[in-house]
Amino acid sequence: MKAAYIQKTGPADSIQFGDLPTPQPTGTEVRVRVTQVAVNPIDTYIRAGTIPMPIPLPYILGCDLAGVVDAVGPQATRFAVGDRVWGTNQGLLGRQGTFAEYAVVDDDWLYPITNDVSDEQAAAAALVGITAHLGLVRDAKLQPGEILFINGGTGGVGSMVVQMAKALGATVITTAGSDAKVARCRELGADLAINYKTEDVAQQVLKFAPGGVNVFWETLREPDFDRTVSLLAERGRMILMAGRDARPPFPVGPFYLKGCTLHGFVMFKATAAEQRSCAEDLNRWLSSGQIRVPIGERMPLSQAAAAHQLQEENTVGKQGTLSGKIVLAV
């Protein structure tokens, strides 16, 4: 089968596109004939070797996939040949990735694609959708009528959090780095979208929500706790999920005097049962049209190196040239 893979960690141009053996499903695994995959920042960190992660070599890149079941292992019970499925959480913790014509995945990590949802949307929503759900529902316990703030409303995670928080009945404030992206945030449902390059974000937030926000979701890799805590309401919750090396100062007094809580997580450590419950809601919202994943770039799988480069330039290099997910057709 054709696959995008590395023989050792390194820059984007160390990605090779070529033939690898087609894997066979065993036990509870199923084999998916992959049609669409999506790129996430973590794919680039694993490929570059900048985060510790065990990888088999050659290592096939990628966490997300959509496609059709084409073979099932002897103990796999959840899916049959011909079922359309999506999934994420591959290419992590020693598992092979999804950037190939075929991927073998334990059936615990796959979900059906509903009739009215495209493979492209299912793949693009996968990791970022489950991340948004874990943070909003399991950790922040976002309630209808609450106010949520998230940085980067057109980002991979940001665009899912904006739409999901609206689906859960919250009021949403977000930011973006250009007026065009601010307009896109409003199209996604944000009640207030602020240009973080030209406006005073803290001032705008407090004008809109004088009592502060109930949930502050930080997507930046360099969180500013002084600003965040000052914007949190009494009993506010903050979500942290990026910035492994960040060591910012923390305003202890203001934080505990308001009874705030801080929740950190990585999606790939959530259990299969937790992720399945996120996937069920996500399927419902994708099917009803309440969630639509903005696509920033479409490429063939053979362009995986260029896709990694573009993701890296934006998430780490902050070039601002991407608005939406990068998806690759297999």
Contact set with ligand NAP (CB under 6 A): 40-42, 128, 131, 151-152, 154-158, 175-177, 181, 196, 219-221, 241-242, 265-267, 314-315, 318, 320
The nearer residue to ligand NAP, 194 or 305, going by C-beta atoms, is 194
The nearer residue to ligand NAP, 5 or 196, going by C-beta atoms, is 196
Smallest distance, ligand NAP to C-beta of residue 176, A? 4
The nearer residue to ligand NAP, 81 or 266, going by C-beta atoms, is 266
Smallest distance, ligand NAP to C-beta of residue 157, A? 3
Smallest distance, ligand NAP to C-beta of residue 265, A? 6
The rounded radius of gyration (Å) of the Cα atoms in the chain is: 20
Taking the C-alpha atoms of residue 26 and residue 198, their distance in angstroms, rounded to an integer, is 55
Please, what is the end-to-end C-alpha distance for the chain in angstroms?
A: 11
Contact 185, 154 (CB under 8 A): yes
The nearer residue to ligand NAP, 69 or 239, going by C-beta atoms, is 239
DSSP element (H, E) containing 69 = strand 65-72
Smallest distance, ligand NAP to C-beta of residue 80, A? 31
The nearer residue to ligand NAP, 146 or 218, going by C-beta atoms, is 218
CA angle (33 as vertex; 32, 38 as ends), nearest 5: 85
Q: Reduced to 3 states, what is the DSSP secondary structure of residue 109?
A: helix
The nearer residue to ligand NAP, 131 or 303, going by C-beta atoms, is 131
The nearer residue to ligand NAP, 69 or 173, going by C-beta atoms, is 173
Smallest distance, ligand NAP to C-beta of residue 7, A? 24
Q: b/e map of 200-223 (b: 16 or more CB within 10 Å)?
A: ebeebbeeebeebbbbbbbbbeeb
The nearer residue to ligand NAP, 191 or 218, going by C-beta atoms, is 218
Smallest distance, ligand NAP to C-beta of residue 64, A? 11
CB contact set of 140 (below 8 Å; sequence gap of 6+): 148, 215, 217, 237, 239, 263
Smallest distance, ligand NAP to C-beta of residue 269, A? 8
Tell me which residue of 273, 232, 279, 275 sits closest to 251, measured CA to CA. 232
The nearer residue to ligand NAP, 79 or 175, going by C-beta atoms, is 175
Q: Reduced to 3 states, what is the DSSP secondary structure of residue 57?
A: coil
CB contact set of 126 (below 8 Å; sequence gap of 6+): 38, 63, 64, 65, 66, 86, 87, 88
289 phi and psi, to 5 degrees? 85, 5
Taking the C-alpha atoms of residue 12 and residue 175, their distance in angstroms, rounded to an integer, is 29
Two tokens, residue 266: 């990585």
Tell me the CA distances in angstroms from 19 to 135, 286, 329, one per residue in order.
Answer: 38, 34, 17
Tell me which residue of 158, 120, 138, 132 sits closest to 38, measured CA to CA. 120
Smallest distance, ligand NAP to C-beta of residue 276, A? 16
